[in-house]
Amino acid sequence: MKLKKGETILFIGDSITDCNRGRHENIYAWSPNHHGTSYVSDVEAELTISYTDLGIKILNRGISDNCIRDLKARWQTDVMDWRPDWVFIFIGINDVWKQFQYPNVADKWVQPKEYEQTYRELIEQTKPVVRELVLVTPYYLEPNREDPMRVRMEEYADTVRRLAHEYDLKYVDLQSAWDGLLEKLYNHQISSDRVHPNHIGHVYIAKQIMKLLESE
């Protein structure tokens, strides 16, 4: 287990992280649906059950519909001010999705150059002040690798992999993990729109995160 006693893990991202999380003022306090129905809740459950003595605190700072430029705008208040020990960045799906959802509204797009440059800024701002910064690749639950959105998403996932190697950061390759699962399951068993996972999908994401946390 890589975690140390009393550490705080902060997850930041879009709707897949958000999943109707609580918005109350004391975000450490227990409340129904505190972390929503996302993988964050599943990670917290596993850490609480299996590593009770560590007393790990979990923060969910996901906001639906966010792109990387939205994360940059709220980075100080939603990440830096909380002084977490670990930060997981999971962003990029909307950056690609909106290029297909709004093909005639270029202002909504986050092109690869902006995505990479903004990601670099967040990494360079955060890495010196946390114990671990972990990147998570965006994904598209489409087994056909020639699908246009899958091709575009892979470009953004490659950016995350490359930045992780360049900055010597840990990363969770969700696209590769999903590809393995899609050899056994149909994508509609995991998601109705190839983006937002059901409970099976969120448990699978949590499993990939736990695999990283438990690795030596």
Residue type, 138: P
15 noted as active-site residue: yes
The values of phi and psi at residue 133, to 5°, are -115, 125
Catalytic residue among 50, 158, 188, 193, which? 193
179 noted as active-site residue: no
The values of phi and psi at residue 60, to 5°, are -110, 115
Rounded to the nearest 10°, the torsion over CA 31, 32, 37, 41 is: 40
Residue pair 160/171 in contact by the 8 Å Cβ criterion = yes
Catalytic residue among 14, 18, 35, 196, which? 196
Catalytic residue among 14, 15, 191, 202, which? 15
- Strands (E) in 159-204, as ranges, are 170-172
End-to-end alpha carbon distance in the chain: 7
DSSP string for residues in 124-153: HHHGGGSSEEEEE------S-TTSHHHHHH
Q: How many CA atoms lie within 13 A of 126 on its CB side?
A: 31
35 noted as active-site residue: no
Residue pair 96/158 in contact by the 8 Å Cβ criterion = no
Catalytic residue annotation = 15, 193, 196
